[in-house]
Every structure is written in structure tokens, then in C-alpha cells.
Amino acid sequence: MNININPKILLFSTEKNKYIFDNVSGNIIPHTEEIFFTINNFLKLSKSQLIHDLKEKFNINDIESENVYLYINNLVHNGCFFCNSTHRDIDCKEESFKTPISQLILVLTEQCNIRCKYCIYSEHYPNIMEYSNESMDFETAKLAIDQYMNLYNEKKKYGYRKKAIVSFYGGEPFLKFDLIKEVIDYCNTKGYDVRYYATTNGTIMTDEVVECIVNNDFIVTFSVDGHKEQHNRNRVFAGDKGTFDLVLNNILKLQEYKRERNINQLITFNCTYDYYSDLNKIITFFEENYDKFDPFNVMFGPVNKLDTTYYDYCKESFNKGIIKEDINTAGKSYNELIEKLSNKDNTDCAESRILNSFFASLSIIKRRPRGIIELHSNACIPSNKIAVSPKGEYYICERINQMFKIGDINSGIDWDRCSELLNQYMGVLEENCSDCNVSRLCDSCYIHFIKDDNNLEFNEEFCKEKKMVIPKTLSIIYTLLEKNPKVFEMGLDNSDQESLFEFYQVMR
């Protein structure tokens, strides 16, 4: 086994302290110059030479230098700092059965009744296909569900215990409400124990839709970008008419229906912002509507600046006076929210909970898994999530539907193609990321390395951004933890935390 003699560590700091992040094990330890020197030279010098150099360089005695060496030696023998720089080829089918994700995503239609400015099907994403009139029929959905449930039952043999998940996606999935009802009836007839998810723009919420959602225990994710001005800036009908009033009224109709029946059913929100967004106002919107929406989770996410002309559109809109806030607004308000979180106690459940939702990505990093991880890191194993196109073709993700086909309803999962794709992805990572000191915290996946329908290539711009952002993120996390070790638990009990992180796993 070829061990790289250079440790995969990152030095980061807060105003008070310095820390060392170990990319191999995921651990973070306090930094001293003696510890940092010992780690960097552990495989380069003999024990006696290293202890000698410690004494000479840092003017410490025999006992102190021996203790530093033993401390690092113990960590190394427990799998820290150094690792094998090569990967093994993975059999995707075998690996899929062992992983804790299983989800079928039915892309019911590529039609949508609104035209969001940042939608990946918009003109601002030239490398992605546009909206179409394609829609799924019941026979396609039925075959996909049967094949998915066979795969799910195989995973159960390996110890998988979560419910099967069927997600309705689009376009706007409730444009195909009749198909949704057919799918539910079919799953009930077959005895499939399924949890249903749906991602919707919230504009289609008839009494029948509301009743179906409640009676079948849906987890519905509404795309709501916060307060009216923010939401209507991007989430509009054709002709630029805002959707906020209609969406909010529909959500409140659903909530009222549940309360009349004493049903405590979770709803979730997908809140998108950009560099021009005032994050304080967005947070305030969810705080002010806390009692109306409760119980709920919010997933906040920025519009990525890569591979899109969206921010060119924003700049033009700002120059015309259409966008009132400038491009630095999100950054300024983000720093204000960090300050607010650092000074929070647990007395205001609503504010604490919304702030924790906004900073959930920080909490996820804080709760990162420890120990050696596969080179594919945070990316899904192809087939863990199966996105089914309206034509019945299988893809690895709804976010890159129509790319990286991995089968279809007629032939099932193409396991050779899944393995080929996974190992191609890992090859890109091995060639470019094997010496990276923050790779286990990087959220790279297939979508970031797309070259064409069948091939991947490394994205230098994405990498550069992550190497800048991740150390800053660690610094923010530990600045907050120094002030309050329980900062990421405020407003959340254990069930809340589990619910929030399950939501992020399904929606990521």
C-alpha cells in the first residue's frame, strides 16, 4: 500500500484559537506549533530524530517532546493524517445495497405553469434542456415503481430499515395530479409501504389536492423564497406576475385543513436566495409565520454562480432599478446572522429554530462522520436515487435529469453503466483531489464535473471556490462553538434534529 508521507491536514483559526482539521479521519484537534511540526514530519523522520528536533526547535525537555510524539503516534495508529492515495474499483450494485439512501423520483412532467428566473430549465442555463411538453403515463410509473420496490427489498436484506420513498417531481408535479392518485392507488393495491414526497411551486392546491396530501401523509416541499418582494423577484408566472399571494394562501389552506382535523403533519420549504438577497428579511418572514407553518423545516440554498448567466441577468436588473439591493447584500446580512446566532440563547424557539435551519450546513459539517470514507465521499452511489424521466429512462439524479442514463423501465438498472460512471467519477477525484486537505467536506458530485452526456471532467473553478470557502466555514463553526458549545442545538430537540437531517438527505 502506497502511503502519502504528506499529511492531509488543514490549519484554521478563530480569533481565540488555532485548530487542525484532519481530512483523513474527520477529527479536529487543538493546534500548537509542536503538534503541527510533528504531524508534518511524522513519516519523514525517525522517532529519535523527530524527538530531538522537537527539543531543539521548540526548546522543550525530554518528557514534553516524548509526550507530543506519543500523542501524534497514537492518532496515526488510529487512522489519522495519512492514507492510501489510490482507490479500488467499486461494484456499484454491491455498494448500492449497503448504503443508507433509497429513493425513486418520478419526473411526472417537464411542463411548468410558472417561469422562475433561476430555474435550470430557463434561458440562464444554456447547457441544460428547456421546458418541454413531455409527461409520464401510468404504465411507465407502474413499471418504475415495481422495479424500485424490488431493489428496495434487496437493500432490506442488507439491513436497510427506512421506508421506501417515492417522490413526485417536475416541472410542476401537481399538473399531473390524476397520475399521482393512480400511483398512490397502485402502491396501496400492491401493499407497498411507501412514504411520499412532492416538490411543488404551490400554485396548484385544490381541495382535492389538499385532501390527498393529508390523507396520504405526504411530505410536501414548497418552493418559497421568503417575503413577498424576495419571492416575487424570481418566482413568477409568464409575463412576470408574482406568485407569492397565491402560494401563501394555498399553504395556509393546507395548514387550516390539517388543524381542523388535529393532524400534526410536517411541511417543508425550499428557499432560494442570491447575492442580492437580504437574508435577515428572509429569516424574519419564516419567524413571523412560524405558528402558521409549524411543524416545518426550511432548506436554504444559494443560486450557484457557476455555469449560468443568471447573475448577468441580476446585474442588468440592478442597473435598471428592478433589483433594489446590491450584490453585497447577502454577504453583509450573512455576517449579521452569524453575529445574531453567536449571541442567541434558547429562549426564543422560533428564531433559534429558523437560524439553525439556515445554518444547517454548518451543523452538518460539525456532525460530520468520522473515520475513513470512500473516495466518492459525499456523492451518491448511482441507483441510490433513481430519477425516472417521463419517457421511462433512469438517471442518477433529478438535478441532472436527461444526463447520465443508467437504465430504463424496459431493461431495468444498467449496473455496468452505474459502475462505469461511479469509477469514472472516482478517477477524476483521485487524479485531482487525492492530496486535497478538505475533500471530505466538499459537496462535489457528478453535476459539478459534467463534460457531456457520458463523460466527466474536473472543474477547476468549483475546486478553487471550495478551497476558499471550506476553511472559512470551519472558522465560523468553531467561533460559534467557542461562544456556545450547544449553539447548533438551540430550538431543536432530538426528533427535530433527526427530522431536519433526514430532510436534507432526501432533498440534497
Locate the domains of the chain by residue range.
9-77
Instruction: Tell me which of 444 and 372 has the higher pLDDT.
Output: 444
Q: What would the pLDDT profile of 87-106 be if each residue is shown by its tens digit? A: 667 888 888 888 888 899 99
Beta strands in 348-474 (DSSP E): 385-388, 393-395, 405-408, 412-413
Instruction: Tell me whether residue 283 is exposed, middle or buried, using C-beta atoms within 10 angstroms of its C-beta: 0 to 12, 13 to 18, 19 or more.
Output: buried
329-358 per-residue burial string, b: 16 or more CB within 10 A, e: under 16: bbeebbeebbeebeebeeeeeebbbbbbbb
Q: Taking the alpha carbons of 113, 115, 119, 122 in that order, is the dihedral positive or negative?
A: positive
User: Which of 56-70, 377-391, 458-472 shows the lowest per-residue confidence on average (mean pLDDT)?
Assistant: 377-391
Set of cell numbers at residue 23? 481530512
Angle formed at CA 86 by CA 81 and CA 87, multiple of 5 degrees = 110
d(CA 137, CA 285): 39
Exposure b/e, 478-489, CB count within 10 A at least 16 = b? bbbbeebeebbb
How far apart (Å, rounded) are the C-alpha atoms in residues 490 and 497?
10
Contact 273, 303 (CB under 8 A): yes
**pLDDT surpasses 90 at 122:** no
Average pLDDT, stretch 193-205?
A: 96
pLDDT at 97: 85
Q: Are 388 and 103 in contact (CB under 8 A)?
A: no
Tens digits of residue pLDDT in 293-322: 999 999 999 998 877 899 999 999 999 999
β-pairing verdict for 405-408 and 393-395: antiparallel
84 CB-near residues (< 8 Å, 6+ apart): 1, 2, 3
Q: Which pLDDT belongs to residue 1?
A: 47
pLDDT of residue 493: 53
